Amino acid sequence: MRLILLNGPPAIGKSTLAHLYVADNPLALRLDIDEIRGSLGQWQLHPQSKPLARAIAVQIARTHLTNGHQVIVPQLVSSPEFIETLADVADEVRVPFTEIVLLAPTVDDAVARFRHRRDILSAAGIQHPQNAVHNEVEAITYTYEHLDWFTQQRPRTKVLCTLPDDIEGAYQSMCRLIEDD
């Protein structure tokens, strides 16, 4: 039993890897904060919807961990406060906390993945925070560079480079990082 944070820029594979993980781990919970946020009425109009969704997620994680099950959180987190909150929950219920940051080989690759995913979401009519990003090159470059810097400040953070055409390889690498933690 453990709490896992899969961090990384948008469209890097966090949700895909989290789906694979719960498929292989009975009663593990994929706790998607963006889905919780999207369940809040008029979330797009209220800046407090993100911290509220995170607060709800923390309570869900605590409950699920307390009942003896794993939780994996696929979420872009670029400041330490929410990560420390998750670590505190893991400490409180006495389970390991694993923090993994997924990155692409290059910023250009991260931008291409973002554009591709945003196009898919838009075509499907799915409301997602990504739809509001207008200068994706600047936004993804900043996010990528900030996460790279941020992970260097967090020595326990594990970094995994993912390739868009090697989901199985990324999943196996992620599982090894979790097992080694």
Give the tens place of pLDDT for each residue, 16-72: 999 999 999 999 999 999 999 989 999 889 999 999 999 999 999 999 999 999 999
Is residue 175, in this structure, part of any structural domain at all?
no
Instruction: Determine the structural domain holding residue 161 and report its residue range.
Output: 3-167
Q: Whole-angstrom Cα distance, residue 107 to residue 103?
A: 9
Q: Contact at 8 Å (CB) between 69 and 4? A: no
Is residue 177, in this structure, part of any structural domain at all?
no
Is residue 174, in this structure, part of any structural domain at all?
no
Q: Whole-angstrom Cα distance, residue 88 to residue 79?
A: 15
Q: HSE on the CB side for 59, CA within 13 Å?
A: 6
Give the tens place of pLDDT for each residue, 117-140: 877 877 877 655 555 555 677 888
| CATH number of the domain residue 116 falls in | 3.40.50.300
User: Please, what is the angle between helix 80-92 and helix 49-66, to 10°?
Assistant: 20
DSSP-H helix ranges across 39-160: 49-66, 80-92, 107-124, 136-152
Number of structural domains (the chain) is 1
Q: At CA 158, angle to CA 155 and CA 153, rounded to 5?
A: 30
* pLDDT > 70 fraction of the chain, expressed in percent and rounded: 94
